[in-house]
Structure 1
Amino acid sequence: MKVVLLQDVKALGKKDDIVNVSDGYARNFLFPKKLAVEATAGKLNEINDKKSSLENKKRKELEEAKKLAERLNNIEIVIKTKAGVNGKLFGSITAKDIADLIKENHKIEIDKKKIVLEDAIKSLGTHEIEIKVYPEVVAKVKVTVSQE
């Protein structure tokens, strides 16, 4: 019997998957626990519509992410801070600082968790910072740290 899963079922499939199971398993376990429904033409059409709308939504999000990445690639941030004689900063520049400056200067809101910094910036100079805009889209922003 073909059924459409309403929830993830261990060792069977994920939500909205169409799977073949024995009649007894479907009637005695899946249907009473509302884990699945019988795969009718109407239900299959409903699932296909859901999948196509989800694909369209993802495609739009990807396009928006690419546009945002293009804007971010052209941004250069200048940070003036106190530093010692040898170029070491008194303190450090963190992902939060960079996100705040992008929001303040360019009106683009970036989540600080999406900014890739292995360690906080602790020296003067130009640093190239990666920002993960979307799973496949990465932007690079130049951050110039100069002495105050």
Structure 2
Amino acid sequence: RRATESNKAEFAAKRAELEKAAAAKLAESQAQGEKLGGTTIKLTQKAGVDGRLFGSVTNHDVAEELNKQGYKVVKSQVRMPNGPIKVVGDSTVSVSLHTDVVVDITVTVYGETA
């Protein structure tokens, strides 16, 4: 395509529309991040007497619990820097709501004896 005046105007209109949509998405993510930041979720898993879990708590489990609490989060947004949680106790997990909005939450895992 040539850079004619009509093509330049069309490009500018599309660009403005995309920038407006991106700004709206960022604002929505920031609002959700303010609500979500500092949240503690509690999960119960079967565990041995030494506090090690049978299995592990994954990003899927965390996202599922956050969705139950009313937050719209998909598992790909949940970042577990140390991998899946395999022991009872508190762990910090990051939730990436937007490229510019990352919040930390606390996941408390309780052991349930088999």
Decide: shared fold, TM above 0.5.
yes
Match of 1:50 in 2: 14
Q: RMSD of the TM alignment (CA)?
A: 1.3
Q: Deviations over 1:86-141 (max 9, x none)?
A: 2111111111111111111x122211011112411000111110011111110111
Alignment of 1:2-81 (within 5 A): 36=1, 38-81=2-45
More strand by share: 2
Give, as a single letter, the amino acid of the residue that structure 1 aligns with 2:97: V
Q: Distance in 2 between matches of 1:103 and 1:95?
A: 12
Structure with the bigger RCO (C-alpha within 8 Å, sep 6+) is 2
- Taking the aligned partners of 1:93 and 1:135, their CA distance within structure 2 comes to 24
* Displacement after TM superposition at 1:75 (Å): 2.0
Q: 1:140 aligns with which of 93, 97, 104?
A: 104
Name the SS of the counterpart of 2:54 in structure 1: strand
Q: How far apart are the structure 1 equivalents of 2:11 and 2:45?
A: 56
Structure 1 runs of 4+ with >4 Å offset: none
Aligned identity (percent) is: 30
Q: Secondary structure at the match of 1:91?
A: strand
Question: Aligned partners of 1:91, 1:42: CA distance in 2, in Å?
Answer: 60
Q: Look up the match of 2:74.
A: 111
What TM-score results when the alignment is normalised by the length of structure 1?
0.70
- 1:71 match: secondary structure: helix
Equivalence for 1:88: 52
Q: How many residues align?
A: 111
Question: Which stretch has the larger CA shift, 54-63 or 73-82?
Answer: 73-82
Aligned equivalents of 2:27 and 2:8: distance in 1? 29
Stretches of structure 2 that go unaligned for 5 or more consecutive residues are: none
